[in-house]
A = this chain, B = another copy of it.
Amino acid sequence: MLERNVIQGRGFSNVVEGGQVTGFQFDLRNPNYRGGWASLVDGVEVIVDGEKIESHVPLWTLQGRTFTRDELRASDVRWSLDELARITVPKPGGLSTGVHRIEVTVFIRRSYFPPMIERSTFPAERQTVIVPPAPEGPLKWCVSTYSYAQDINTLMTLEDVLADVADLGATGIEILGEGNVPGYPAPDAAWIDHWHGLVQRFGLTPTNFGSWVDTTRWHDRALTAEEAAEQLQLDLRLAHQLGFTSVRPKFGVTSWQLDPHPVWRDAVLRSLDLAAELDVVICPEIHAPTPIKNPVTQGYIDLIEETGSEHFKLLIDTGIFQTAPVLENAEDIEVSDGGDIPEHLRPLNVPMEDLREVLPHVHFIQAKFFDIDDDLYDLHIPWEPILTTLREAGWSGWLSSEYEGVRDPYRGADQVRRQHALLRRVVGAATS
């Protein structure tokens, strides 16, 4: 699907020619209700951060051919409703990393309007994000489809999500098994081929596969260890078939402290041989309100140490490092100024020292976040200390964007671009 805004978020980037940044570009969908001859398109005025570029200046790329406005007027190409036009704006040095305001006015002549008003204007505007290339180093850049929850199936197909992830320069893709796999737990062969085709086409590596062991599936009894192991093994096999190298099982819990249901240990132990055979790592998630120094996390570490397995490790969700409460998601809770923050919203603020200690056991990091503002400031997650800790420890692995803020349409896509811009700026500054 195309993005609703005429100015698409995907595709916004600087243009590099011969090692020089010569301008920027973005994609436009046809703002009219019909397609038509591109000769009827009469240019596009662009205003970027208040700076105006006259309508005859930007270049148009349609069907792989690039035109000036005047060449377009004399061309025989069409601009259909389902095709994006790439607009290239000359600007030596291009645009800085981060959020920019783009306004456009597209001019299209309509033969069926009186001649004096034939040249119609189609205005649009948005904020959008320049993401710098991923820095070289031990960190690998990934995005979870969870970031696009509520938008997948309604505004975006899975293919659109993968296109977005590739466009921002990530190379890893994390998915939710029972969420993004049509026909789960037994997708048909055509879909499996489609999936492998998609990741190849977008140059993406499948990373982590989200799994749930729903211990309260039945009303009258808990899941048995055998049933729990069956679920985990089903997901290990499916993840492997789709090219994933780790599975995060989310076990049901039995307490306010999120103690996992006791079947977790048996289910994992029964599945370790299969995990080794498939070379897929089982990664339970350390997720707020469970900190690192805690019997739950310790239980996982104990199992790692007891078994010596290379196929059971930790997954860290960066929500545990939160320094400020997330209140925009909590519309049903009244938090008066200076009043008490409800317990489940209080930031855990796990110290970096605790992270450093467990890093040898950490296989995967979900870069959970909620809101990054127009200045690329994250209101809740302290990225500088987290990234410094990872760098100093020499940790290598996938850092996977997991947006969990307000689910307004397209907000996830925009916020993920902001997060990658922010994280790459921090990493780039530390290593340059």
The residues of B that contact A212 with a CB separation of less than 8 Å are 34, 36, 111-112
Query: For the complex, what is the distance from the CA of A154 to the CA of B30, rounded to whole Å?
Result: 11
In the complex, the answer to whether B4 meets A179 with C-beta atoms within 8 Å is no
Residues of chain A at interface, number, CB under 8 A? 60
* Interface mask (A163-203 → B, CB under 8 Å = 1, otherwise 0): 00000000000001011101110000000000000000000
* Interface mask (A408-429 → B, CB under 8 Å = 1, otherwise 0): 0100000000000000000000
* Interface mask (A14-46 → B, CB under 8 Å = 1, otherwise 0): 000000000000000100011111011000000
Which one of A252-260, A313-321, A369-377 is at the interface? A252-260
Query: Interface majority SS on A: helix, strand, loop or mixed?
Result: loop
Q: Which residues of A (1-23) have their CB < 8 Å from a CB of B?
A: 1-4
Chain B: CB-nearest residue to A183: B80
- Contact among B153, B218, B256 with A116 in the assembled complex (CB-CB below 8 Å): B256
Chain B: CB-nearest residue to A121: B332
- Contact among B29, B73, B114 with A253 in the assembled complex (CB-CB below 8 Å): B114
The residues of B that contact A153 with a CB separation of less than 8 Å are 1-2, 29, 81-82
In the complex, the answer to whether A114 meets B176 with C-beta atoms within 8 Å is no
Query: For the complex, what is the distance from the CA of A184 to the CA of B73, rounded to whole Å?
Result: 19
* Interface mask (A136-170 → B, CB under 8 Å = 1, otherwise 0): 00000000001001101111010000000000000
Chain A positions near chain B (C-beta within 8 angstroms) = 1-4, 29, 33-37, 39-40, 73-74, 78, 80-82, 109, 111-116, 118, 146, 149-150, 152-155, 157, 176, 178-180, 182-184, 210, 212-219, 250-256, 258, 261, 409
